[in-house]
Amino acid sequence: MGINSCLKAGGVICALALLPGISNAQVVRPVSESGQYARSSTREANRLMNQMQYEARRVQYHTQVLDNFVYHTQFAWNTTGIELRRIKSEVNDMSSRLRKLERIENGVPVAEQQAIQNVTPLVQEMANNTDAAINFRNTHHNGFWAPAFMSSTQNLHTEAGAVIHQLHSIEQAAG
């Protein structure tokens, strides 16, 4: 056996010795773009939904403050305007986040898609009730604690609670 034959035999033996390690190795496959998009969309959806829950809680807080003004009318006019502007800002932020959620809706799990669909009319009603309360306040400088105004703020509180419930249910299911 010549030197070349020995080298070839040695190379074959070395290759055979390494085969068991190679055969047990896992193949790392790249993540498909659609899989990466779905995970990214789900993370983004969760972030947006958490922010919407926070904003809905803020709306509930501000509506409770408005409800307390019924008993403290000396603060009513100016402070009511401040609270309504805060509610409007929160509802506008929720609407903006909802539009983002609607854009990525197809890339999230079915349960989250359903939550987005359920929350959409609630946020729209919140916007309508906010506008109604602001318009009522602006046109009724005296006696703006009428049932129409209180109804709008109470509806806002209820709708914000429904948004929180819908989004919290998704959190619970995923958790």
State yes or no: pLDDT of 24 exceeds 60: no
Mean pLDDT for the stretch of residues 24-30? 37
Q: How far apart are CA 175 and CA 171, in angstroms?
A: 6
pLDDT 10s digits, 86-99: 999 999 999 999 99
Give the chain's mean pLDDT.
80
- Residue 105 vs residues 11, 52, 100: alpha-carbon distances, Å: 56, 15, 9
Q: Tell whether the torsion through CA atoms of 20, 23, 24 and 30 is positive or negative.
A: positive
CATH topology assigned to domain 41-174: A middle domain of Talin 1 (1.20.1420)
State yes or no: pLDDT of 113 exceeds 70: yes
DSSP E strand stretches across 30-116: none
Q: What is the pTM of this model?
A: 0.74
Please identify which residue in the block is written with the tokens 């773009």.
33
pLDDT 10s digits, 8-17: 544 444 444 4
Q: How far apart are CA 97 and CA 49, in angstroms?
A: 8
